[in-house]
Amino acid sequence: MTSRADVPAVKAALRSQAVETPSWAYGNSGTRFKVFAQPGVPRTPREKLDDAARVHEHTGAAPSVALHIPWDRVDDYAALAAYAAGLGLRLGAINSNVFQDDDYRLGSVCHPDARVRRKALDHLLECVDIMDATGSRDLKLWFSDGTNYPGQDDVRARQDRLAEALAAVYERLGEGQRMLLEYKFFEPAFYTTDVPDWGTAYAHCLKLGERAQVVVDTGHHAPGTNIEFIVALLLREGRLGGFDFNSRFYADDDLMVGAADPFQLFRIMYEVVRGGGLDGGVAFMLDQCHNVEPKIPAIIRSVMNVQEATAKALLVDREALSAAQEAGDVLAANAVLMDAYDTDVRPLLAELREEAGLDPDPVAAYHRSGWARKITDERVGGTQAGWGA
């Protein structure tokens, strides 16, 4: 532990951090080649919440669950919210889905045909109705819209159509509700994407108003992109709404956050801490798929990875860092950051859990709990998360 760390303050900040888990990470998922079904996966949104409650029980840090509509479609969303509350959870961001309908072959809100645009907009507005019923704060929008070939559509007109739809949704938001706009540089479109980067998302959000915020999915950048710079900039502008955390080796791999590059996660979390992003305005969501590993322990592991990166970021000796930076001492400044990164924060987090009455080792506690055996015995015929559905 670095000597100058204010351990009680670090612990208090860690205690206040919540990580939101995605309903779809509990269900079966796969690549475009194969879905490897796992025994015991949830068959209904309620069963996804049952699993999410295990993650929260063992980590104490995952109190909310993001829904994806229509993957989590139910008749009564208020009843689903009440069910979540009964488990000690709440329903988090509502993720829209305007990418899995035959009508969306050429796009959704950017489609050249006004009828398809209207259909997509109606879905987004329905998502706000769902937020009203669930008490969710955030609407997360990701559009698969784009083109595959030069000349296929008017790139600029598509921006106009996007702006029109976003304005209609923004207008519909209730007080205290936010719109989170997610960008991704390619896939499924391979030539142009209508919201390819933070700059495009930011430009649209800026026009809409303060409750339109950018969401950074860590897997949605070109290799080598300096994501922590984007984070620092968006925080500075007051427009970082949240993260979709995951890690990637190649493209949008959706692997466990912190698995591919824990140093990058630390650098991101340092900018979050530096920019005041732990105060509740930034949603720390996971957006992952567990295709080959058991899902619940993988999600527990992911929550722990976020906590470890956050703990290290909180341990950065900011005074020493500023002094070195002001003195132009490049090596000393870098050493301050690396000292924090190289600190083993696992004992600190174990202590924190024990103080909260939790097992210091959440993964082991989950394995001992017998939950995996129970769901394997009781649940037959789990659902797919949605991509192949």
**Residue 308 contacts which entry, Mn ion, ligand LRH, none (Cβ below 5-8 A, type-dependent):** none
Closer CB to Mn ion, 185 or 191, in the complex: 185
Q: Interface with ligand LRH includes 95 (CB under 6 A)?
A: yes
Task: For 19, list phi and psi in degrees, rounded to 5.
Answer: -115, 125
Distance in Å, CB of 187 to Mn ion, minimum: 8
Closer CB to ligand LRH, 161 or 184, in the complex: 184
Q: Which residue of 228, 252, 271, 317 would you call a contact of ligand LRH, by CB under 6 A?
A: 252
Q: Interface with ligand LRH includes 21 (CB under 6 A)?
A: no
Q: Interface with ligand LRH includes 287 (CB under 6 A)?
A: yes
Q: What is the residue-wise DSSP string for 185-219? A: SSSS-SSEESS-SHHHHHHHHHHH-TTEEEEEETT
Q: Which tokens go with 253?
A: 């791999």
Q: Interface with ligand LRH includes 182 (CB under 6 A)?
A: yes
**Residue 95 contacts which entry, ligand LRH, Mn ion, none (Cβ below 5-8 A, type-dependent):** ligand LRH
371, HSE (Cβ side, Cα atoms, 13 Å): 21
**Residue 57 contacts which entry, Mn ion, ligand LRH, none (Cβ below 5-8 A, type-dependent):** none
Q: Which tokens go with 294?
A: 């058991």
Closer CB to ligand LRH, 26 or 142, in the complex: 142
Those residues with Cβ within 8 angstroms of residue 246's Cβ, 6 or more apart along the chain or in another chain: 217, 218, 219, 253, 254, 255, 256, 257, 286, 287, 288
Closer CB to ligand LRH, 247 or 343, in the complex: 247
DSSP code of residue 181: E
Task: For 174, list phi and psi in degrees, rounded to 5.
Answer: -85, 170
CA distance 114 to 202: 25
Distance in Å, CB of 333 to Mn ion, minimum: 33
Distance in Å, CB of 77 to ligand LRH, minimum: 18
Distance in Å, CB of 194 to ligand LRH, minimum: 13
Closer CB to ligand LRH, 27 or 277, in the complex: 27
CA distance 360 to 353: 5
Residues that bind Mn ion (CB under 5 A): 217, 244, 252, 287
Q: Interface with ligand LRH includes 244 (CB under 6 A)?
A: yes
Size of the site for ligand LRH (CB under 6 A): 8
Distance in Å, CB of 146 to ligand LRH, minimum: 12
CA distance 333 to 321: 5
The amino acid that residue 172 corresponds to is R
CA distances from 50 to 46, 53, 86, 138, 377 (A): 6, 5, 10, 22, 15
Q: Which tokens go with 10?
A: 């670090």
CA distance 355 to 302: 21
Closer CB to ligand LRH, 271 or 287, in the complex: 287
Give yes or no for a contact between 254 and 296, defined as CB atoms under 8 angstroms apart: no
DSSP code of residue 251: S
Q: Which residue of 26, 104, 142, 284 would you call a contact of ligand LRH, by CB under 6 A?
A: 142
Q: Interface with ligand LRH includes 184 (CB under 6 A)?
A: yes
Question: Which residue, judged by CB position, is nearest to Mn ion in the bound state?
Answer: 244
Distance in Å, CB of 318 to ligand LRH, minimum: 32
Distance in Å, CB of 22 to ligand LRH, minimum: 8
Q: Which residue of 217, 228, 317, 359 would you call a contact of ligand LRH, by CB under 6 A?
A: 217
Q: Which tokens go with 276?
A: 């005041």
For binding to ligand LRH (CB under 6 A), which residues are involved?
95, 142, 182, 184, 217, 244, 252, 287
